[in-house]
Each structure stands twice: as structure tokens, then as C-alpha cells.
């Protein structure tokens, strides 16, 4: 039987803290999630019992640490339904995963006059690396706009794709509006024109059922720290055919086969893309986070979080002068808003004085804010341990700030 979602909160020790003498209401999960005790224990157990450098050693600890690390690769592959563990590359996070593809793919496949398409809904980490790659390669940077509901304009995408398009980069869920993009449809449109797709799953992999083979993404990137795992570890999934063709991104130890003054040859997959000593402890923490998540029924988890989101949107919409941004057909875990006449930054500081943690500003999505003609939003974002009481505290907190500043 799967674990009850309502029991999750007690697994996260940090949530029982007080902030400014009030119980912590943590609603900044899109920035990073908190960690369950099982993840914290896995990291400290690793350092207490198994720490060694992996792959190269032949002593017991090195073998133990290597096995633990490689087991997590298999867990990640199963978690996102990759065809094989060799298609899983450990990185520092989504940002590094996307940079890896932008560099390696750019070097191998992008020529002057070629085109790259990204969406206007992207986090800077799925925007800037492509911008820079276009500058390096003499390629043209194209952007799919979004409409008044915060949904991508797929007709515009249809018109943007052409024979010079080399790659499309798009997120599964927008971190500033929460829009769930129709990834299946987008991938299909791109593939019909022979264009590979990189999907940024940073705001999706912890909330929705995930299957990279069904999605048919060529590349899929995500961060551990947004899925209850430690900071400093992330994943690049890529179809084997691409990993075989792409040159390495970082080079050094472990990623080589032969090294002579004349020539360097590369290690097999996935090691060709993992130069140097990896972040073993946090990879093991990621494995513990996946074990933790696998205790839940994911359809149930998604339904629970969707209900929470609707509840929160309902409460916020009753507050006079409050505007929620975007109205996509499907939204996930993000409540972006502003109150007329109140700076988002001031709202954040005053909510914090009541123990409520939200994020304010541009959320690393300046193109989204520019399109909305605003400098930023207040963003409350959800995780599986949030509940109605958290959202009621948020709504009360916002109403209090309005009373305070508008008296």
C-alpha cells in the first residue's frame, strides 16, 4: 500500500521550526524543497560508513561507494523511465545539464545561419545558455511567445520551425506562472520537422508522472534539490543516439579511455560526460529522495497538489486588489500574484515577519516579467507536505499586509 500524503509533513524536520516565533509556513518550494529525514540520514550515513572516491579504487570502501552511486543511476533511470541507466548523466543541477547540451550540441551540430528555438516562458537557465551558444556559433535565437493566459502560442511555434532549426528548448512547467506546457504535442511538432527537443523538467519531475520515453524528449534536465534531494546534484537524461554523437563538455579524469601526447579517446557512456570526482554523497541523497517519493502513489500525489493549488487560488482570488498572473488550462504548484499598490518585495518581507516564506521578484524569468509589463511577482509554490492550513495562513498574511500598508 502506498504511503499517505498527509503523513509526509512529519518526515521533514525543518518544518517543525518556528520563524519569528511563529510556525514556519514554507511556500518557496519552486526555489528549493525541504529534505526528509531519510535524505539527511542517507548523506550522513554515507560519510560515516562508505566515503571513498569512486570508480578508480579497488578497496572495499571504494567498491561500496561505487555500487551505491551506480545504484542511484539505475533508480533515476527507472524513476523517469529512461531506456537505460547509461542515458543518465549526473550534473550539478538543471543549469549544468542544459549548459552541457548547449556546449556539446552547439559544437557538433550548429553552424552559422542555423536557428535555435526557446520559449518566452523559460527560466534564464534554459534561455541564456542558448543565447550564448547562438552568439558562439553564429546562429539565430528564436522565441515562442506566450499568450494572455500564460500559454505558449503553438501556431507561432509551427511558423518558427524550419529547415535551419537545430534544436527546441522548452520547459515542462513554467517556474514563474506554473503553466503546464503540452510537451507531448510540442515534441511531436518538433520531431515532424526533425528537430530534437530539450525539456527542462525542473518544475515538473517532483509533481507529475514522468516518462521520458512516452514524452519522447531527446534531452530532459532536472535538479535534485527541487525534488526533496540535496543541492548540488542534478540529472541530464539524453537519448543514447545523442550521447554517442555529442563531444564531451568537461574533460579530465574518468571521462577518458586513452591519453597520449598525440591523442585522447573517451570512456564509454555515461562516463564520457562525468569528468572528475562526482558529488557522490549528494547523488546518494538523490537516491534516498527517489526512494522516499516512490512510497507515494504519484497519481494521488498529483491530485493532492492540484487540489491544494485550486484551494490556494480560490482563497487568493477573494482578496480585493489581488491579481493572479496567467490562467493556463493546466497549472502546477505555482501561485504568482501581486496586490495593487504593494511592492512584491515588501509583501515578501512582511509575510516573512509572520513566518511565511514565499519568493518575490523576477524568478529568473525576466522575459516573462517584461511580457507582463511588471517588475516581478510574489510567488507561493507548493510541495507534497503543504496543506490547507499553509494556504489559509498565506491568505490571512496577505490580507494583514494589505491592512497594514493601505491604512
Q: Which is nearer to ligand PMP, 50 or 362 (CB)?
A: 362
Q: CA 321, CA 326: separation in Å to the nearest integer? A: 16
Select which of 40, 364, 371, 405 is catalytic: 364
For position 33 contacting ligand PMP by CB under 6 A, the verdict is no
User: Which residues share a beta bridge with 362?
Assistant: none
- Under rule CB under 6 A, which residues in 187-206 are in contact with ligand PMP? 200, 202-203
Annotated catalytic, 364?
Answer: yes
Helix, strand, or coil (residue 46): helix
Based on the shown chain and the rule CB under 6 A, indicate whether residue 125 belongs to the binding site for ligand PMP.
yes
Three-state secondary-structure class, residue 315: helix
* Touching ligand PMP, residues 270-329 (CB under 6 A): none
CB 280 within 8 A of CB 46: yes
Residue placing its CB nearer to ligand PMP in the complex, 3 or 124? 124
Q: Does 93 bind ligand PMP (CB under 6 A)?
A: yes
Structural contact between residues 324 and 313, judged by C-beta atoms closer than 8 angstroms: yes
Residue 370 and residue 256: Cα distance in Å, rounded? 45
Minimum distance, C-beta of residue 223 to ligand PMP, in the bound complex (Å): 3
If you search the block for the grid coordinates 562508505, which residue do you land on? 50
**Using rule CB under 6 A, residue 362 touches ligand PMP:** no
| Site residue total, ligand PMP (CB under 6 A) | 14
344 binds ligand PMP (CB under 6 A): no
Query: Residue 1: helix, strand or coil by DSSP?
Result: coil
The SS3 assignment for 94 reads helix
For ligand PMP, the closer of residues 212 and 393 by Cβ is 212
User: Cα separation of 405 and 249, whole Å?
Assistant: 51
Binding mask 151-190 for ligand PMP (x = CB under 6 A): --------------------x---x---------------
93: region left, alpha or beta (phi > 0 left; psi from -120 to 50 alpha)? left
Judged by the rule CB under 6 A, the positions of this chain that interact with ligand PMP are 30, 93-95, 123, 125-126, 171, 175, 200, 202-203, 223, 364
Q: Which residues are catalytic?
A: 364
Amino acid at each position: 500500500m502506498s504511503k499517505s500524503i498527509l503523513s509526509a509533513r512529519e518526515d521533514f524536520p525543518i518544518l517543525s521550526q518556528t520563524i519569528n516565533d511563529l510556525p514556519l509556513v514554507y511556500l518557496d518550494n519552486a526555489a528549493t524543497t525541504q529534505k526528509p529525514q531519510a535524505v539527511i540520514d542517507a548523506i550522513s550515513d554515507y560519510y560515516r560508513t562508505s566515503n571513498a572516491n569512486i570508480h578508480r579504487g579497488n578497496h572495499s570502501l571504494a567498491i561500496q561507494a561505487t555500487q551505491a552511486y551506480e545504484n542511484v543511476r539505475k533508480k533515476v533511470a527507472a524513476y523517469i523511465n529512461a531506456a537505460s541507466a547509461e542515458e543518465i548523466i549526473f550534473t550539478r543541477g538543471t543549469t549544468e545539464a542544459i549548459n552541457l547540451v548547449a556546449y556539446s550540441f552547439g559544437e557538433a551540430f550548429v553552424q552559422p545561419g542555423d536557428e535555435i528555438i526557446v520559449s518566452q516562458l523559460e527560466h534564464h537557465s534554459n534561455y541564456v545558455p542558448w543565447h550564448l551558444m547562438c552568439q558562439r556559433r553564429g546562429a539565430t535565437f528564436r522565441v515562442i511567445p506566450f499568450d494572455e493566459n500564460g500559454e505558449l502560442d503553438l501556431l507561432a511555434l509551427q511558423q518558427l520551425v524550419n529547415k535551419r532549426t537545430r534544436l527546441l528548448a522548452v520547459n515542462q512547467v513554467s517556474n514563474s506562472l506554473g503553466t503546464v506546457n503540452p510537451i507531448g504535442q510540442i515534441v511531436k511538432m518538433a520531431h515532424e520537422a526533425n528537430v530534437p527537443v530539450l525539456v527542462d523538467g525542473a518544475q515538473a519531475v517532483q509533481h507529475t508522472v514522468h516518462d521520458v520515453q512516452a514524452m519522447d524528449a531527446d534531452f530532459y534536465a532536472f535538479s535534485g534539490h527541487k525534488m526533496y534531494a540535496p543541492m548540488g546534484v542534478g540529472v541530464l537524461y539524453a537519448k543514447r543516439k545523442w550521447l554517442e554523437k555529442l563531444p564531451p563538455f568537461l574533460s579530465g579524469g574518468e571521462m577518458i579511455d586513452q591519453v597520449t601526447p598525440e591523442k585522447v579517446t573517451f570512456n564509454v557512456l555515461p562516463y564520457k560526460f562525468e569528468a572528475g570526482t562526482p558529488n557522490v554523497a549528494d547523488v546518494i541523497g538523490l537516491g534516498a529522495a527517489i526512494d522516499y517519493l516512490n512510497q507515494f502513489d504519484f497519481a494521488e500525489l498529483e491530485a493532492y497538489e492540484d487540489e491544494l493549488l485550486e484551494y490556494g487560488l480560490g482563497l487568493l482570488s477573494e482578496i480585493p486588489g489581488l491579481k493572479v498572473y496567467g490562467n493556463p488550462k493546466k497549472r502546477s504548484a505555482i501561485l504568482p500574484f501581486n496586490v495593487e499598490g504593494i511592492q512584491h518585495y515588501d509583501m515578501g518581507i512582511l509575510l516573512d515577519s509572520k513566518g511565511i516564506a514565499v519568493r518575490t521578484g523576477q524568478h529568473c524569468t525576466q522575459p516573462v516579467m517584461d511580457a507582463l509589463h511588471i517588475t516581478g511577482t510574489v510567488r507561493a509554490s507548493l510541495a507534497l507536505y503543504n496543506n490547507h492550513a499553509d494556504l489559509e495562513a498565506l491568505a490571512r498574511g496577505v490580507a494583514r499586509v494589505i491592512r497594514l500598508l493601505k491604512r
